[in-house]
Structure 1
Amino acid sequence: MDTSEFNHGHGGEPINWERAAGDNAFVFMKATQGTRYKDPWFAEDFAAASRTSLLRAPYHFFDPQSPYDAGAQARHFARTARAAGYTGQKPGELPPVLDIESALVNHRAACPPHTDARQVAALLRHIEAEFGVRPVVYTNHSFVTLCLAGDARILKGYQQWLPAYQSEPPRLPGTGRDWAFWQYTDRARVPGIPGPVDRSVYHGSLQELRSMAGIRGNPPER
């Protein structure tokens, strides 16, 4: 799953993380956006999910306000994640995630202002330096086409989390690798979470995913 404040219902209902963990192996949670925004539920949700079997990591939504604020965004993300107890190194923690997407302008996809390959590459370097682990990148073909001139080579070497709701997502051009995580729906129903939820699958075994999160040995039986 991936969650944010929008998964808490219209009345700000808490998520029952014990129930949500029942049929899920991992969760990505929105922590920050840009240089100032903090998801108001992140700290509470991360602490609660950490008490379950869920493998977990925060994500940062890339929202540049200038051509040179990659470092400020990474520091804001790292401070918020650490304050909630995430380090990127503890058993059960997956790598941090950078969410880079095209924007909707007059109902059409467009590249957000101040977004280009140099900004994205700088942000990836800063996030890796902050946590000591290479981040996962959530993006889509629209972003690559509009913001990277159709060439995703700067994402080569990064695990990709790709959305596609009709069929399996194709490779991003220039990366030479398949998706690691596939967000296949935004309409899932998960016990313990109000309303529809994004749901994803990992391109590997549960044991491999647990190894990515620093956990050795066989996964528990469900």
Structure 2
Amino acid sequence: MDSVRSHLPRRSRWSVTGALTGLLLSLSAPSAMPSAAGTMTERGTAYMGMGVLAHDGAAAADDAAESVSRANQTEGVDVAKYQLNVAWSTLWGSGVKWAYAKATEGTYYTNPYFAQQYNGSYKIGMIRGAYHFATPDTTSGATQADYFVNHGGGWSKDGKTLPGALDIEWNPYGAYCYGKSKSGMVTWIRDFLNRYKARTGRDAVIYTATSWWTQCTGNYGGFGATNPLWIARYGSAPGTLPAGWSYHTMWQYTSSGRTVGDHDRFNGAVDRLKVLATG
């Protein structure tokens, strides 16, 4: 998801109107916070991979030797409010077979375009899922899992709905690791995953980048046996995976801008994707 992804909204200049709007929003949601880079970012504006290019950059060209073949991989996209009403028929025609839409962030934000994105991808024939942008500094993991499930992040055994995804990455609103110790972060993630499974019966997908996972969890390896990995890396190969995972299930390999969302590949053919959806 040019050091910051191309579909990141332009930052507005502070004005009297903007200040009043922010004051009203603060009554029901956490306020805008300065990021670790010192810039002001409004709560709710985060999206999957927002910090990947900003912190990891594009992968070096010399990883071409370990380039992954597209054979037996299934193309997908992830979208958020910046894609607005997505032209799903166009994406379907280009070979995209699955999609994830941002549903929620923290316990203060829901994507206003979620219904069109989530239901539209389903109606065109895609296998779809929802994701939650985690903010471990605002409320507990269990509380955010409940909010996610209650606002579109559930699961149904219809063969076309993927388990929900936990987007856990750099904090766009403050300290990179949300002010948590490595063990504290692992506990927060575990609480989210446990509550999600209790609510849905499914193990959530974990979306992350290896560098963030190493920095903020101490490269904890305890989730690899249960939770599918969605790795973020913009290059010709997924690169080194976090501890605990011997393979990736999904790979966000590039950012394609505001119109069509970010592109991803499922590590298998469509029949295996359907197995993941069915449970």
Both proteins in one fold, TM over 0.5:
yes
- Paired amino acid for 1:40: P
**Is the 1:186–1:196 contact (alpha carbons within 8 Å) kept by the matching residues of 2?**
no
> Deviations along 1:49-85, whole A, 9 cap, x unmatched?
221110000001111234x611210111001116xxx
- Paired amino acid for 2:170: S
Shift in Å at residue 105 of structure 1? Answer: 7.3
> Deviations along 1:85-118, whole A, 9 cap, x unmatched?
x533222111111110023579xx8212346110
Aligned to 2:124: 52
Distance 1:196 1:16, change over 3 A: closer
Cα root mean square deviation, aligned:
2.3
Shift in Å at residue 132 of structure 1? Answer: 0.9
Aligned to 1:95: 163
Aligned to 1:11: none
CA distance in 2, matches of 1:175, 1:62: 21
SS at match of 1:200: strand
The unaligned stretches of length 5 or more in structure 2 are 1-76
**Is the 2:103–2:148 contact (alpha carbons within 8 Å) kept by the matching residues of 1?**
yes
- Paired amino acid for 1:206: V
CA distance in 1, matches of 2:260, 2:270: 24
- Paired amino acid for 1:70: G
Counterpart of 2:110 (choices 38, 54, 68) is: 38
SS at match of 2:202: coil
SS at match of 1:110: coil
- Determine if the alignment matches structure 1 residue 79 to structure 2 residue 150: yes
- Paired amino acid for 1:152: G
Instruction: Choose between structure 1 and 2: higher strand proportion.
Output: 1
Count residues in correspondence: 199
The unaligned stretches of length 5 or more in structure 1 are 9-13, 189-193, 216-222
- TM-score normalized by the length of structure 2: 0.65
CA distance in 1, matches of 2:234, 2:242: 19
Greater relative contact order (CA < 8 Å, ≥ 6 in sequence): 2
Aligned to 2:31: none
CA distance in 2, matches of 1:16, 1:176: 34
**Is the 1:102–1:142 contact (alpha carbons within 8 Å) kept by the matching residues of 2?**
no
- Determine if the alignment matches structure 1 residue 169 to structure 2 residue 169: no
**Is the 1:103–1:110 contact (alpha carbons within 8 Å) kept by the matching residues of 2?**
yes
**Is the 2:81–2:111 contact (alpha carbons within 8 Å) kept by the matching residues of 1?**
yes
Bigger Rg over Cα = 2
SS at match of 1:64: coil
Distance 1:50 1:176, change over 3 A: closer
Distance 1:17 1:176, change over 3 A: closer
Distance 1:141 1:173, change over 3 A: closer
Indicate the percent of aligned positions where both proteins have the same amino acid: 26
- Determine if the alignment matches structure 1 residue 138 to structure 2 residue 207: yes
Shift in Å at residue 157 of structure 1? Answer: 2.3
CA distance in 1, matches of 2:120, 2:246: 34
